[in-house]
Amino acid sequence: MTYEGVLGLRPAVEYVSEEESIRVIRYYVGSVAVELLEPLNHDCEVARFLKKRGEGFFLIFYRVDDVQESLEELRGIGKQTIDDKPRRLMGNRYAFLEPPDRMHGVLTEIVDGSFTS
């Protein structure tokens, strides 16, 4: 892998989300997390994204204290969100913000809880 061979990084977290049909490897560079996603089938959201746009940055996420509160605050100031309520994965709540086409093709997510594992 490029991040391991070229940059000398070691994976901090590796997991498979059967629900989203993806394999994820997370690296940390200081306090910044970089996640690499691999589709597990040709029909999942990540596979469709790669087919349409090719390789590149797919997602950036920001840690917040409370996803539900942040969603309400964002909608209260007129920002569009993909999710009306938080989703759950690995003990964390998360939600997606404005559609990627409005964020230069990068999916933007907010996450609460511990995202180090």
Whether the predicted pLDDT of 69 surpasses 60: yes
| Tokens 């309520």 -> residue | 85
**Residue 106 in tokens:** 């990068």
How many angstroms separate the CA atoms of 73 and 86, rounded? 14
- CATH 3.10.180.10 in the chain is located at 1-56, 57-117
- Phi, psi of 41, deg, nearest 5: -150, 175
pLDDT of residue 2: 65
pLDDT of residue 117: 45
Average pLDDT over the chain, rounded to an integer:
85
DSSP state of 3: H
Whether the predicted pLDDT of 19 surpasses 50: yes
Please indicate whether residue 34 or residue 69 has the higher confidence score (pLDDT): 69
- pTM (2 d.p.): 0.63
| Tokens 């940055």 -> residue | 57
Fold of 57-117: 2,3-Dihydroxybiphenyl 1,2-Dioxygenase; domain 1 (3.10.180)
CATH superfamily of 1-56: 2,3-Dihydroxybiphenyl 1,2-Dioxygenase, domain 1 (3.10.180.10)
